[in-house]
Amino acid sequence: MTKKIKYPKTKLKKFRKTILDKMENISREMGEMKNGVLNTDSSKANMSPDSIYSVHMADAGTDSHEREKSFLFLSREDSYYRNLENALERIDSEAFGVCQICGELIPEERMMEVLNATKCVDCKTRDKLNL
């Protein structure tokens, strides 16, 4: 009978705490970003879009670019947050830290750096080279 490779419960508990802390930080940052995107300058609120462009076309373009950039950052953070939720599920099933390709334990240092890692460095490198 083969022994299943996995992290001990004490390590999984440590990973869980780190992930939950990270998720809390991300949630707070996303809230701040959303407030920044949704809050508009009160002086521009009463102007029609046409008058904004005709008076300050460059400023309007910059504002639009900054909003788009914020939306992209929000999307990226949301995706990372969901990956961390998946990592918590892997902790619950005790599959956290086990490479999905080779089945070996991913080193703790990598797991602490990349909390949502699902592949060891060797398998990740090979996987990237095959693309």
The tens digit of pLDDT for each residue in 18-64 reads: 999 999 999 999 988 888 777 655 444 444 555 445 556 777 777 77
Please report, as a single letter, which amino acid is at residue 123.
C
Q: Give percent above pLDDT 90 in the chain.
A: 58
What is the per-residue pLDDT for 66? Answer: 80
Q: Is the pLDDT of residue 11 over 90?
A: yes
Sketch the domain layout of the chain as residue ranges.
9-94
CB contact at 8 A, 12 and 89: no
Mean pLDDT calculated for residue range 68-85 = 92
DSSP the chain: -PPPP---HHHHHHHHHHHHHHHHHHHHHHHHHHHHHH---HHHHTS-HHHHHHH-HHHHHHHHHHHHHHHHHHHHHHHHHHHHHHHHHHHHTT-TTB-TTT-PBPPHHHHHHSTT--S-HHHHHHHHHT-
Report the mean per-residue pLDDT for the chain: 84
